[in-house]
Amino acid sequence: MSKPKPKIKKEVVSMPKQDSKERSHNFSEVALGYTRQQAVAEAERCLQCVKAPCINGCPVDVDIPAFVNLVRERKFDEAIRKVKEKNSLPAICGRVCPQEEQCQASCTLGKVGDPVSVGRLERFLADWERERGYEIPRKSASRGRRVAIVGAGPAGLTAAADLAKLGYEVVIFEALHKPGGVLIYGIPEFRLPKKIVEAEAEYIEKLGVTIKMNAIIGRLYTINELLEQFDAVFVGTGAGLPRFMRIPGENLCGIYSANEFLIRVNLMKAYDFPKYATPIYVGEKVAVIGGGNSAMDSARCALRLGAKEVKIVYRRSRQEMPTRAEEVENAEEEGIKFKFLSNPVRYFGDERGWVKGMECIKMELGEPDESGRRRPIPIKGSEFIIDVDTVIVAIGNTANPLIQRTTEGLEVTRWGTIVVDEETGKTSKEGVYAGGDVVSGVATVISAMGAGKRAACSIHRHLLRKKRMQQRKGS
């Protein structure tokens, strides 16, 4: 007798969200997360494929079918333990990973309906654990070796967690006053509450990692000075240098880089000014230049800070936007407008030096460029003017240059990113490893974490080899 075929549930269990009208005026989290019942119902949709194509889509190799199955069995504590075998920042990843391009892209269920919401389940488990108190995993015995990590962003925190679990003494040097990197200064509260970043950073500290704040490597200590005190160094300084278009009028008042705007709002809590002392100015008509996550985040922050009209001006079309799909949807629901195939060419100011308008040019799409996306080409004579009083330039960032400028013998590309062996994260300098956006240029949180993991693994191998060699010499 053949077993009855289980019925495939094609539709995803939707996640409750704050009403769009209400949320466009506050900084509270938009997505509210699954309840237990919703999580179990969503987990029950998983087909438990033997080949598990989802795992190949995950840069840190989380055993997705296994943890989803544990959710289905309501064994939440075992499920989160399974996730954390590979991912030390699950509450963050569950919220900001572009799952639709990663694990969920290759989900078998996605071929007949909606893929399993891996991200939402991960988020559910992480929140479930955080509310109950973290379980601290067993660590290896101390190896008497020290590793320095530069930058407390996703790459650095992940490398630190893995190395600490392996028994290394790890010190993270962070230049800002809070750990998290882009998670704390870049991603807004309504998408990733700061208390979650703080909690996950605390978890990393509970693994025995020391995080030293206000410590800017390249000025306070050079990499060579760190190498005198540590057995290896991992550089995860990210891509924090904002790009500008170098067009006339770009330094007028009212024109911010996305970084400045987001640092003021997120890290310095300018949305709570004057209770928090850092100010922010947002006018009535805001234009955000760019089509990435920072553009979307800046636009939605501007709206919440009281702008009447927020437009995203992007030089390609909707299909090429490198943004997380859920956030484009959220932004549209909140009332953000899009102006595709347009690019600013210059800004106009008023007599006080404030921006009041921008001239844009229409674009058409040509052949694909190195990024695989169709290249935008300006259409001659198609210039038009948009009235604006605030502009946020969100056209991307380049690698932070301080370490590169102050470290002799560190090979760097012409874009300023650090050259590494992709498999190991090894740089041209002995004992120095690097990963995340400072190597790849702007990418995702999870790919930075993947790089942190690979580097941690090769630092471990490198130090074991070094130890064996020393022992051989000694005997």
Partner 1 sequence: MYRIVTKRELVPHINLFEFSAKEIAAKTKPGQFIILRVDEKGERVPLTMTGADPEKGTITVVCHEVGKSTRQLGQLKEGDCILDLLGPLGKPAEIEKFGTVLCIGGGVMVAPLYFQAKAFHETGNTVIGGIGARTENQLIFENEMREVCDELYVATDDGTRGYKGLGFLEGLLKERKIDRVITMGPVLMMKKVSELTRPYGVPTIVNLIPIMVDGMGMCGACRVTVGGRTMFACVDGPDFDGHQVDFEELMIRLKMFTPQEKLAFLFQEEGGRSL
Q: Where do contacts with partner 1 occur on this chain (CB under 8 A)?
A: 175-177, 185, 213-216, 219-221, 240-242, 244, 246, 250-251, 253-254, 256-257, 259-260, 263-264, 268-269, 273-281, 352-353, 400-402
User: Minimum Å distance from CB 251 to partner 1?
Assistant: 6
Is the separation of the CB atoms in 178 and 267 below 8 Å? yes
User: Minimum Å distance from CB 240 to partner 1?
Assistant: 4
User: Minimum Å distance from CB 248 to partner 1?
Assistant: 11
Helix (H) or strand (E) holding 260: helix 258-262
Single-letter residue type at 450: G
Calpha distance 236→399 (Å, rounded)? 10
Coil/strand/helix, residue 324: coil
User: Minimum Å distance from CB 104 to partner 1?
Assistant: 32
User: Minimum Å distance from CB 268 to partner 1?
Assistant: 7
Per-position DSSP letters for 284-311, written without gaps between them: SEEEEE-SSHHHHHHHHHHHHTT-SEEE
Query: 93 or 442, CB closer to partner 1?
Result: 442
Structure token digits, residue 254 = 């009212």
User: Minimum Å distance from CB 407 to partner 1?
Assistant: 16
Strand pairing of 355-368 and 384-387?
A: antiparallel
Query: 246 or 473, CB closer to partner 1?
Result: 246
Coil/strand/helix, residue 409: coil
User: Minimum Å distance from CB 160 to partner 1?
Assistant: 20
Which is nearest to 38 in space by CA: 134, 102, 127, 103?
127
Query: 111 or 275, CB closer to partner 1?
Result: 275
Coil/strand/helix, residue 453: helix
Query: 276 or 384, CB closer to partner 1?
Result: 276
Single-letter residue type at 289: I
User: Minimum Å distance from CB 284 to partner 1?
Assistant: 15
Per-position DSSP letters for 185-228, written without gaps between them: HTS-TTTS-HHHHHHHHHHHHHTT-EEE-S--BTTTB-HHHHHH
Query: 221 or 314, CB closer to partner 1?
Result: 221
Query: 3 or 275, CB closer to partner 1?
Result: 275
Query: 71 or 233, CB closer to partner 1?
Result: 233
Calpha distance 181→162 (Å, rounded)? 18
Is the separation of the CB atoms in 46 and 116 below 8 Å? yes
Query: 128 or 256, CB closer to partner 1?
Result: 256
User: Minimum Å distance from CB 244 to partner 1?
Assistant: 6
CA angle, corner 186, sides to 336 and 341, nearest 5?
Answer: 40
Rounded-to-5 percentages of helix, strand, coil across the chain: 40, 20, 45
Residue entry with tokens 């075929």: 5
Query: 204 or 263, CB closer to partner 1?
Result: 263
Query: Is-cis flag, bond preceding 376, omega within 30?
Result: no
